[in-house]
Amino acid sequence: MRVLLVEDDDAIAEPLAAGLIREGFTVDRVATGRAALEAGPADVLLLDLSLPDLDGYEVCRRLRSRSDMPIIMVTARGEEVDRVVGLELGADDYIVKPFGFRELIARIRAVTRRSVRAEPVGGVARIGTLHIDRRSHRVMVDGRVVELTPREFDLLAYLAADPGAMRTREDIIEAVWDPHWYGPTKTLDVHVASLRRKLGDPGWVETVRGVGYRLRAGPPRS
């Protein structure tokens, strides 16, 4: 598995790269945002936010516009607003320095499991004015194309597989993230909030308090 490590601090990058290599990963390390944008393909990106040229958020936004490569932000910025911005820009995960190396390995393995169990084979799901094309990863609502991150699409496709059915938080995380997910369950709430906003009506995804979420079986009432 090839890892692209974007980190300008040698004191962090060198031991991290050495540890990843010991675990069997191939590591390409760059120190700037522009170098990350020009780098070759990788299986996962470890992205520092504080880079000497481009902000890591901007690097994430540009990469996500052209690639589905899993992105893990690795940063000292631990505020909730930083996590929310990163996830809404398309990052698949967010880990705050200092972190445990084993946890990072677990997160890398989680985000690179690309067989999405949430996604049934073929067809277009139509729930009122919401259309979800699983083959082309295309979503439309009220005739408008909705731009979703890969994780947001997987979440929506999972809920749409059985509209109206309640899905527990544990079931969603296991299906859309990973059965051995190490991250905070707050990640699910952030993705649901972003999905609601992009669909244009929070009523599409209903909260079952204390249990989980469900996709409405019909258009939400205005």
Q: CA nearest 148: which of 92, 95, 218, 82?
A: 92
Query: At 186, is the pLDDT very low, low, confident or very high (cuts 50, 70, 90)?
Result: confident
Q: Lowest-confidence range among 24-33, 35-44, 116-125?
A: 116-125
What is the model's pLDDT at position 109? 82
Q: Give pLDDT, residue 36.
A: 96
Q: How far apart are CA 168 and CA 9, in angstroms?
A: 41
CATH of the domain spanning 2-111, picked from 3.40.50.2300, 3.40.50.300, 3.30.70.360, 3.30.1360.120? 3.40.50.2300
Q: How confident is the model at residue 163 (pLDDT cuts 50, 70, 90)?
A: confident
Q: What is the pLDDT of residue 219?
A: 67
Domain ranges of the chain: 2-111, 124-215
Kindly report the average pLDDT of the chain as a whole number.
85
pLDDT at residue 114 above 70? Answer: no
Say which residue, 119 or 172, is predicted with more confidence.
172
pTM greater than 0.85: no
Candidate from 2-11, 21-30, 88-97, 178-187 with smallest mean pLDDT: 178-187
pLDDT tens profile 78-93: 788 888 888 888 888 8
Whether pLDDT at 42 is above 90: no
What's the sign of the alpha-carbon dihedral 152, 98, 181, 170?
negative
Q: Is the pLDDT reported for residue 65 higher than 90? A: no
> In the prediction, which pLDDT does 88 show?
84
Whether pLDDT at 178 is above 80: no
Mean pLDDT within 154-177: 87
Q: Please report the pLDDT score of residue 221 as a whole number.
A: 61
Tell me which architecture the domain covering 124-215 has in CATH: Orthogonal Bundle (1.10)
Is the pLDDT at 222 greater than 80? The verdict is no
Could you please report the per-residue DSSP string of 165-183?
--EEHHHHIIIII-TT--S
Q: Which pLDDT score is estimated for 126?
A: 84
Residue 166 contacts residue 212 (beta carbons within 8 Å): yes
